[in-house]
Amino acid sequence: MVSAVVITNIFISLVLIYIARYLGKVKDKLALIADRLTIYESVTDKFLARAPAYIYARQENIINLHKKQQRLELQVLQIQQILSLMEQGWRIWQKLRGKAGGKIGEKL
């Protein structure tokens, strides 16, 4: 009977030693994961600390580009108006030239 109790105790001790070793390995892995997460958090914090200034600068760039686009669109409109006026002037000149009976190269 005593030998059965001793064998049972030895078996339980071996199982508990195995569990303790397994939990030790799990603890080491969790410590490694925690260290990596701490490093990732530190890097992320440094990156995100600069993000508002970066975003603000890019917003300013976008605003400036929008203003420049508006100026360019106005210039395009003005050029289109100038070209339209030149075309109308050309047509009027052609009509006046045609009524005067002139040919190309002939003085009016």
Q: Tell me: the pLDDT tens digits for 41-81?
A: 999 999 999 999 999 999 999 999 999 999 999 999 999 99
Q: How confident is the model at residue 1 (pLDDT cuts 50, 70, 90)?
A: confident
Answering whether pTM is above 0.75, one says no
**Distance between CA atoms of residues 43 and 8, nearest Å:** 52
- Distance, C-alpha 73 to centroid of its chain: 27
